A and B are shown apart, each in its own frame.
Chain A
Amino acid sequence: MKSRRKPKLAVWKFSSCDGCQLSLLDCEDELLAVAGRVDIAYFPEATRAALRGPYDISLVEGSITTPHDAERIHQVRRASKFLITIGACATAGGIQALRNFKDVKEFTSVVYASPQYIETLNKSTPIADHIRVDFELRGCPINKYQLVEVISAFLNRRKPNISPHSVCVECKQRGIVCGLVAHGPPCLGPVTHAGCGALCPSYHRGCYGCYGPKETPNTAALSGKWIELGMKDEELLWLFRSFNAFAEPFRKESETHEK
């Protein structure tokens, strides 16, 4: 940044599990260095202090699920030069978007005896459905090294080095035997956004899609292959309808397996 003033970083929470903002505190080796480069101006999970905006970089965690939050996100956008959404809740609506396929009133009455006290929207939606977003970092949870890369890129006014290819490419890079070819466990690797380092396949389980859809995913071809290998529609529905259920390619694919 041009001036000698340290850039201001803010961290905002909407509906979420806190895991993605925890990723910043989980950068044990980098945290104090990051704090040396920026003023942590607003980050309630970590500090009582709150500096006024505008903020140079805002990290937004969580999805929009209440009328109040649908208003608040506009204030955050107005106060932020660059706004980066982090994690599956902020980029796709998160696991709580499973309500989008059901009647939310029924959901409220399952959990709460007096649903009239609960204020909630019918749908859990990603941040980009409400405002302009400068960068979306995927994952449930995000990869903390990618987070440091994205913050560093925006501080230095360059493009973040985050590949949009599939988990398959990461598997090949690591030399992991392909489960799909070896008739291993059901795997969403071919259609899932990279970033985890092919974690599940390296632990002998199929990818369950927690980084959401990759760029141009061919979900129909993958489903066809799994059906050929004996998977049922119901299982494919569950597989596509989880942590990124409301991301469009996964949503549409899951709907084709619904009775």
Chain B
Amino acid sequence: MKSKTIKVDYLARVEGEGALTVRVRDSRVAEVKFRIFEPPRFFEAFLRGRPYSEAPDITARICGICPIAYQMSSVHAMENAFGVKIDGQIRALRRLIYCGEWIESHALHIYLLHAPDFLGYQDAIQMAKDYGEIVQRGLQLKKVGNDLMTLLGGREIHPINIRVGGFYRVPTKRDFALLVDRLKWARDAALDTVRWVSRFAFPEFEYDYEFVALRHSDEYPFNEGRLVSNKGLDIATNEYENCFVEEQVSHSNALHSVLKERGPYLVGPLARFNLNFDKLSPVAQQATRDGGLTQSCTNPFKSIIVRAVETVYACDEALRIIDQYERPEQPSVAVQPRASLGYGCTEAPRGILYHRYRLDDRGIILEAKIVPPTSQNQKIIESDLLQFVSRNVNLPQDRLTWQCEQAVRNYDPCISCATHFLKLEIDRA
């Protein structure tokens, strides 16, 4: 059959509601549409007129999977606006809670959302019938991430302990005592995860991506750094809007983001890894080699290995921070609002999350702009699908459809975030 339509009306195992349509004519891909029909929620509009202090709690509600990312980007933007720099143990605790979110989010995606594709199961619960111990390992790994978030944040979804300037309450050194052994177990489990996923069969697929991620002079990036790419981008985060533009397309409720005059780019674990391999801890670098990767990886299907490597890193980094922890005297630093513009960009589990706020002299939000990672990856997801279907156009329909879904899930898309964002349709007429 020369013409066909691959259509998935409601893409599963992603966070939020989306769909995919691929139209094939004369054995060539005519069109790929990655649609987001998650209803818009208008965060940027209703943040107007609210006080700066509410931004971390309100923007967290954009996404139940990565609330820490929203809280971190917003508090850094506000502190940037008010000229406050957070360092010492409060800065370290922010890295630590982000480690928790990466562990939780990556374990969720690897074990519950992505691995079933590689092993041919509809979901992790069916997979558990044959891989019971492995699914249990994934769940317990995820739980360690959640427990870390709960200890520091009060709860794992929409934590309540993050504020502009720091925390409401900081833990004592002893509060971490029970977690240390579990984090050591988690680091070993993450190392086992790298070995497990590296044995999966990966489709042959490489692409010359432009990777964009934060880069910091002496650490693997979470909250700070310059925005860099493998094709020459190197800017401060407040220059973001000079280099990136958001476009609205009729088929999606999420805005598409592109690099000016260059086009689509890739954010997330693959980008972070390719741009920051040298900043991974020795344990995580060794795990990379054990997983059969070098310091560069351009096969998006192998992002599952990279996520596992980052999980090793997050456990390792969490242990380092806890080991060096001394309780700060004050849980937060006082801030003084002023009329200003503030910028924040941090590494959500799925990639860079940009916030910009304009504030008045009382710290009331006059304007807010939020660019989540999934809206930045939408174009590259469409590009991957175009390439992938073009090369595999003669596969049987159900197999091709499943592989297209898998290609989308490579990005761990979070659609709730992107609408502020999936359904697969392959039309061969």
Contact among A20, A40, A196, A202 for B64, CB-based, below 8 A: A20
Q: Is the CB of B12 within 8 A of A48?
A: yes
Q: Is the CB of B405 within 8 A of A111?
A: no
One digit per residue, 1 when the CB lies within 8 angstroms of any chain A CB and 0 when it does not, for chain B 182-212 equals: 0000000000000000000000000000000
Indicate if A146 sits at the interface (CB-CB under 8 A). no
Question: How many Cβ-Cβ contacts under 8 Å join chain A to chain B?
Answer: 176
Indicate if A1 sits at the interface (CB-CB under 8 A). no
Q: Is the CB of A99 within 8 A of B14?
A: no
Scoring B39, B57, B155 by chain A CB atoms within 10 A of each residue's CB, the highest score goes to: B39
One digit per residue, 1 when the CB lies within 8 angstroms of any chain B CB and 0 when it does not, for chain A 85-99 equals: 000000000111011
Q: Is the CB of A40 within 8 A of B146?
A: no
A47 to B284, CA, bound (A): 31
Indicate if A242 sits at the interface (CB-CB under 8 A). yes
One digit per residue, 1 when the CB lies within 8 angstroms of any chain B CB and 0 when it does not, for chain A 201-234 equals: 0111100101000000000000000000000000
Indicate if A149 sits at the interface (CB-CB under 8 A). no
- Tell me the nearest residue of chain B to A110, going by C-beta: B45
Contact among B13, B142, B255 for A47, CB-based, below 8 A: B13
A35 to B65, CA, bound (A): 21
A57 to B264, CA, bound (A): 43
| Beta-carbon contacts under 8 Å, B136-154 to A | 136, 139-140, 142-143, 146, 154
Q: Is the CB of B54 within 8 A of A238?
A: yes
Q: Is the CB of A19 within 8 A of B248?
A: no
One digit per residue, 1 when the CB lies within 8 angstroms of any chain B CB and 0 when it does not, for chain A 8-31 equals: 000001111111101101101101
In the bound complex, residues from chain A placing their C-beta under 8 Å from that of B276 are none
Indicate if B16 sits at the interface (CB-CB under 8 A). yes
Give the contact stretch, choosing among B120-128, B221-229, B267-275, B380-388. B120-128
A19 to B140, CA, bound (A): 19
A231 to B263, CA, bound (A): 50
A40 to B122, CA, bound (A): 12
Distance to closest chain B CB from A107 (angstroms): 4
A-B pairs with beta carbons under 8 Å apart, 27 shown: A15-B39, A18-B16, A18-B64, A18-B65, A26-B142, A31-B125, A35-B125, A45-B15, A46-B123, A46-B124, A47-B13, A47-B122, A66-B39, A95-B58, A96-B46, A108-B40, A114-B250, A140-B158, A196-B155, A200-B154, A200-B160, A203-B169, A204-B331, A208-B160, A210-B158, A238-B50, A242-B57
Q: Is the CB of B61 within 8 A of A49?
A: no
Q: Is the CB of B13 within 8 A of A118?
A: no
In the bound complex, residues from chain B placing their C-beta under 8 Å from that of A202 are 154
In the bound complex, residues from chain A placing their C-beta under 8 Å from that of B13 are 44-48
Q: Is the CB of B157 within 8 A of A111?
A: no
A159 to B168, CA, bound (A): 37
Q: Is the CB of A69 within 8 A of B65?
A: no
Distance to closest chain B CB from A37 (angstroms): 12
Indicate if A152 sits at the interface (CB-CB under 8 A). no
Q: Is the CB of B250 within 8 A of A110?
A: no
Q: Is the CB of A23 within 8 A of B46?
A: no
A117 to B142, CA, bound (A): 39
Q: Is the CB of A112 within 8 A of B248?
A: yes
Distance to closest chain A CB from B55 (angstroms): 12
- Tell me the nearest residue of chain B to A36, going by C-beta: B125
Indicate if B5 sits at the interface (CB-CB under 8 A). no
Q: Is the CB of B140 within 8 A of A110?
A: no
In the bound complex, residues from chain A placing their C-beta under 8 Å from that of B122 are 47-49
Distance to closest chain A CB from B37 (angstroms): 8
A18 to B19, CA, bound (A): 17
Indicate if A141 sits at the interface (CB-CB under 8 A). yes
Scoring A31, A48, A238 by chain B CB atoms within 10 A of each residue's CB, the highest score goes to: A48
Q: Is the CB of A19 within 8 A of B65?
A: yes
Q: Is the CB of B135 within 8 A of A19?
A: no
A46 to B127, CA, bound (A): 12
A44 to B18, CA, bound (A): 11
Q: Is the CB of A49 within 8 A of B45?
A: no
Indicate if A199 sits at the interface (CB-CB under 8 A). yes
Distance to closest chain B CB from A142 (angstroms): 9
Q: Is the CB of B250 within 8 A of A117?
A: yes
Q: Is the CB of B42 within 8 A of A117?
A: no
In the bound complex, residues from chain B placing their C-beta under 8 Å from that of A14 are 39
Given A98-B46, A107-B45, does the pair A22, B169 have CB atoms closer than 8 Å? no
A258 to B102, CA, bound (A): 41
| Beta-carbon contacts under 8 Å, A39-61 to B | 40, 44-49
In the bound complex, residues from chain A placing their C-beta under 8 Å from that of B123 are 40, 46-49
Indicate if A113 sits at the interface (CB-CB under 8 A). yes
In the bound complex, residues from chain B placing their C-beta under 8 Å from that of A140 are 61, 158
Q: Is the CB of A114 within 8 A of B248?
A: yes
- 7 interchain residue pairs of minimum CB distance: A19-B64, A47-B123, A107-B45, A49-B122, A98-B46, A28-B143, A110-B45
Given A40-B125, A48-B123, A210-B158, does the pair A110, B40 have CB atoms closer than 8 Å? no
In the bound complex, residues from chain B placing their C-beta under 8 Å from that of A65 are 39-41
Q: Is the CB of A112 within 8 A of B160?
A: no
Indicate if B48 sits at the interface (CB-CB under 8 A). yes
One digit per residue, 1 when the CB lies within 8 angstroms of any chain A CB and 0 when it does not, for chain B 110-131 equals: 0011001000001111101000
- Tell me the nearest residue of chain A to B402, going by C-beta: A48
A114 to B40, CA, bound (A): 13
Q: Is the CB of A141 within 8 A of B169?
A: no
In the bound complex, residues from chain B placing their C-beta under 8 Å from that of A18 are 15-16, 63-65, 414, 416
In the bound complex, residues from chain B placing their C-beta under 8 Å from that of A250 are none
- Tell me the nearest residue of chain B to A107, going by C-beta: B45
In the bound complex, residues from chain A placing their C-beta under 8 Å from that of B405 are 48
Indicate if A32 sits at the interface (CB-CB under 8 A). yes
